[in-house]
């Protein structure tokens, strides 16, 4: 059974996601659809890119990942499909696939300019239903990537922000994601701090050393730890670090030598 995941900023109030799933079911009735999320903040490409980076590795080889976060719908931005060694992606060419493709390495991409694999009528405002969903379904049915359009090599790529080491020995990074609990996830990987004793600073606040779990501190206190995806994060036990520290995506986090 082929799997098609769906990631959008459509929310849960309207019928947009349901119409995409209806198109998929009509073309690839045996495919299983999995909702990654439909609560990406509107037009937030970096948030969508992060969510893909953190979830795609856990799906079986050959999964088709359909991504519709598309502030440029109706413009001249291209619609694309991409194949890596392990997966397929269908999305607008606006950088949203950048993090996951950088992680994957080698890939092939095509411009989705073959209307044979679209719906018969295409609106200017809902390419998710009329172009991306049918293409994802055709991929799940085994249609070769090359049949969907012309090969391209110049797709737009958001780049994963890299932490830097300062002259004082601090590893300076940034918040790349705030989850629904208010935890501040940074771009500093655990490998950069495997040795030594460290102190974490979030914005202007010194949080303390890196602990093993949220329960290392008392209720309402901030704590720094290595999160489930292998990056330094700052949390508040049974609270929100984003609210307590008044920080959001793009804010600064630094890990500095203790003492």
The chain-wide mean pLDDT, for the chain, equals 95
> 178 and 110, same structural domain?
no
pTM over 0.95, yes/no: no
At 185-235, the pLDDT tens digits run: 999 999 998 777 899 999 999 998 999 999 999 999 999 999 999 999 999
d(CA 81, CA 219): 46
Number of domains comprising the chain: 2
* Structure tokens given for 176: 């790349």
> 177 and 114, same structural domain?
no
Where a domain ends, among 152, 178, 204? Answer: 152
> 59 and 79, same structural domain?
yes
CATH code of the domain covering residue 134 = 3.40.50.10790
Domain-embedded: residue 82? yes
> 176 and 84, same structural domain?
no
Beta strands 222-226; 231-236: pairing state: antiparallel
> 55 and 25, same structural domain?
yes
Where a domain ends, among 101, 126, 152? Answer: 152
Q: Name the residue range of residue 211's domain.
A: 164-257
């Amino acid at each position: 059974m082929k799997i098609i995941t769906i990631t959008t900023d459509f929310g849960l109030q309207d019928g947009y996601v349901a119409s995409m799933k209806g198109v998929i079911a009509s073309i690839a009735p045996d495919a299983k659809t999995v909702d990654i999320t439909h609560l990406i903040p509107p037009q937030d490409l970096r948030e969508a890119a992060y969510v893909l980076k953190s979830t795609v590795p856990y799906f079986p080889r050959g999964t088709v990942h359909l991504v519709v976060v598309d502030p440029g719908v109706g413009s001249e931005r291209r619609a694309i499909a991409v194949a890596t060694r392990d997966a397929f992606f269908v999305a607008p060419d606006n950088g949203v696939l950048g993090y996951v493709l950088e992680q994957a390495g080698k890939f092939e991409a095509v411009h989705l300019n073959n209307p044979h694999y679209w719906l018969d009528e295409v609106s200017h405002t809902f390419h998710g239903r009329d172009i991306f969903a049918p293409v994802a379904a055709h991929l799940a049915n085994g249609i070769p990537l090359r049949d969907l359009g012309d090969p391209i090599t110049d797709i737009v790529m958001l780049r994963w922000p890299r932490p830097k080491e300062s002259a004082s020995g601090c590893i300076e990074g940034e918040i790349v994601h705030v989850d629904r609990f208010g935890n501040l996830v940074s771009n500093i990987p655990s490998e950069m701090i495997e040795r030594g004793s460290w102190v974490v600073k979030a914005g202007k606040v010194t949080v303390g050393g890196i602990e093993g779990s949220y329960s290392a501190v008392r209720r309402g206190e901030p704590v720094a730890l290595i999160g489930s995806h292998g990056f330094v994060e700052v949390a508040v036990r049974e609270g929100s670090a984003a609210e307590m520290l008044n920080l959001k995506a793009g804010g600064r986090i630094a890990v500095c030598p203790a003492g």
